[in-house]
Amino acid sequence: MKPTDAIKLGGVKEYIAKHPKDIQASLNEMKAAIQEAAPGALETVSYFEMPGFFYKGYEYNGMFAWFSFKKPNVRLHVRPLAITKHKAELADYTGTRSVVNFPANKPIPAKIVKMLVKESIRLMKEKKE
């Protein structure tokens, strides 16, 4: 069995629906920005029980981005080097080496999300197995 065979598709709508309406709007903005940056990516909640996106055939089961809500932030999870490379653009946001926090009460900065997602995909593709 290949690693991606273990990934169950879907579950993202259900994850979003579990949150309050105002948070759902922010989560949907995040999802839309990721999808725009990663056309044709598959959705899952199999990893970490949060929405994630992947392309089959790459290391780490092709996973390159996730998103979540942890009060008071909608969070984007990407490969750490994507954040390191764009540290200057992220100066206004808190986070960790692999997470960027966006305040849930403000619009999701789609341009930044797309930039980080594209970089995470690029990093993943460089390490194709």
**pLDDT tens by residue, 44-92:** 997 678 999 999 988 888 999 999 999 999 999 999 999 999 999 999 9
pLDDT of 129 strictly over 50: no
pLDDT of residue 6: 63
pTM: 0.91
| Preceding amide of 20 cis, omega within 30 | no
Q: Which long-range contacts (CB under 8 A, 24 or more apart) does 88-97 make?
A: 89/115
| Rounded distance between C-alpha atoms, residue 48 and residue 110, angstroms | 23
Q: Which CATH architecture has domain 3-126?
A: Alpha-Beta Complex (3.90)
pLDDT of 4 strictly over 80: no
pLDDT of residue 46: 77
The answer for residues whose C-beta is within 8 angstroms of residue 88's C-beta and 6 or more apart is none
| pLDDT tens column, 10-32 | 889 999 999 999 999 999 999 99
Reference 45, options 19, 98, 9; nearest CA is 9
- How crowded is residue 33: how many other Cβ atoms within 10 Å of its Cβ? 23
Reference 52, options 86, 9, 90; nearest CA is 9
pLDDT of 5 strictly over 70: no
The structural domains of the chain, with segments of one domain joined by +, span 3-126
